[in-house]
Amino acid sequence: MKNTILVVGSVALDSVRTIYGRTNRALGGSAVHFSMSASQFSPVKIVGVVGRDFPAPFRRLLQRRNICLKGLQVLPGKTFHWKGRYDRGLKNAVTIATHLNVFEYFKPKLAPRHCECGVLFLANIDPDLQWDVLNQMCGPRLVACDTMNYWITLKKKSLVKLLSKVNLLFVNEEEARQLTKEHNLLRAARIITGLGPQIVVIKRGDSGAMLFYGGEVISLPARPIEKVADPTGAGDTFAGGFIGYLAACPDWRSFRVLKRAMAYGTVLSSFSVEDFSVKRTGRLSKSDINDRYKKYVKSLSID
């Protein structure tokens, strides 16, 4: 199971409004967006929680994507529901309402089949829960995590403790600066690697992403998209493409492999924003991904 990914995070119903339309209780959540992307490269197992209102068609969609749901607990009550809207520039999400519902009581307990997964992705949840999950694992060969400004503000001590045990951290620009109190991203990344992670990936939205590893930097631009319908979950989709590709490779520490992982993450996130929820990633084929990847890397001269 060294190539199997365990992702622990939120499974949600999202109601989103942008200038291009709206959704009502569409499939979302960090674990979902990550898994829809990562499963294009490697087997994925989700550990999460939903309510009894979670639609059966959403479950079937995830299962068709080679995503194991045996760790998806169903509790009495309603599924985590987020309501938000984006401004005209589609850069800033405004939260209208957050209903944690059963997610408020999420306490991940791993079954043996989960503990033995070779790759662990700790999606954006409470760092104390992330720590508990990590301690239940049986020595994964790669541990990656995500976080957000909320946890940096409220639980920075717990987050720093977690970072001492992970290989790779995903953050956006604002979070990197908040965590380190350093505006320059190169210096911020150096400070973060000093906390533990060998690799730091800083997501920069429509400006692309930067990876810092062993004193070297990879900086890739975003793939231009004619119409960005909904940016919700784009960062998780990027992480899914990145980690999914790494999980399929014997040596994830190779600089060449990391560069390709960055490119695949960028390509997957470019698909995800073209439609609402997981509508675009849900109908992606491997040939769709490979075609766009080849065109993207050709434009960057990536071999």
pLDDT for the residue numbered 206: 87
Query: Which residues, given as ranges, of the chain have pLDDT below 70?
Result: 302-303
Look at strands 93-99 and 81-86 and give their pairing.
antiparallel
**Measured between alpha carbons, how far is residue 182 from residues 41, 133, 201 in Å?**
35, 30, 16
Four-CA torsion 123, 128, 134, 136, nearest 10 degrees: -120
Domain 5-300, CATH homologous superfamily name and number: Ribokinase (3.40.1190.20)
**What are the residue boundaries of the structural domains of the chain, listed by start?**
5-300
112-138 confidence digits (pLDDT tens)? 999 999 999 999 999 999 999 999 999
152-193 confidence digits (pLDDT tens)? 999 999 999 999 999 999 999 999 999 999 999 999 999 999
262-275 confidence digits (pLDDT tens)? 999 999 999 999 99
Whole-model pTM above 0.85? yes
100-138 b/e with 16+ CB inside 10 Å = b? Answer: ebbbeebebebeeebbbbbbbbbbbbbbebbbebbeebe
DSSP state letter for 273: T
pLDDT for the residue numbered 303: 54
Q: Is 66 left (phi over 0), alpha (psi -120 to 50) or beta?
A: left
The fraction of the chain above a pLDDT of 70, given in percent, is: 99
pLDDT for the residue numbered 302: 56
Beta strands in 124-175 (DSSP E): 142-146, 168-172
Four-CA torsion 187, 188, 193, 199, nearest 10 degrees: -100
pLDDT for the residue numbered 92: 78
Q: Name which of 7, 10, 22, 66 is nearest 277 in CA terms.
A: 22
**In one letter, which amino acid is 115?**
C
Q: Which residues contact 118 (CB under 8 A, 6 or more apart)?
A: 1, 2, 3, 4, 140, 141, 142, 247
| Integer Cα distance of 224 and 205 in angstroms | 11
